[in-house]
Amino acid sequence: MLCPFIEFGIKGVSGEWVKADAYVDSGAFLSVFSIRDAERLGLRLTAGDLIYASGVDGKSIPVYVHRMPVQIGPHKFQAHMGFSEKLGSGFNLLGREDFFSRFDVTFSDTSRRLMFQPIKGKPKAGGKSIVALMKARRKRKAY
């Protein structure tokens, strides 16, 4: 069985690139990483936009979203990266936001490979970011 993990780079606050690994989760909208990774990157966690994300178990966790430079192979771009003290999976999750609009992602069980093929041309606009969507959702719920 294929375990779809990817190793890629995230540019830290100091300007140095830090290696990160994550489970590629096509069912996750946002990438969420542990507090340890936020510390390795030199982030002030609460400087990010606070949202509440829920997984398949339905429980919500606080996630601080930062827009950061990332690199997959030779491809560098800005991505929304979430960080949480409550990430319970035991591993980082790479979600669709900002990644799946730039790459055709293929999970091949037969060849036991995970492939990220760059999409030619400009990345497709994904509409509003997860942060904008979550803020709009909170405003609608406020009475």
Strands (E), 88-139: 93-94, 103-108, 113-118
Domain boundaries, the chain: 5-141
pLDDT of 4 over the 80 cut: yes
pLDDT of 136 over the 60 cut: no
pLDDT in tens, 42-80: 999 999 999 999 877 788 999 999 999 999 999 999 999
Q: Quote the pTM value.
A: 0.83
| pLDDT score at 34 | 95
CATH class assigned to 5-141: mainly beta
Mean pLDDT of the chain: 87
Q: Quickly state the pLDDT bin for 36 (edges 50, 70, 90).
A: very high
Could you give the CA distance from residue 19 to residue 77 in angstroms, rounded to a whole number? 15
pLDDT in tens, 95-135: 999 999 999 999 988 888 899 999 987 665 555 555 555 55
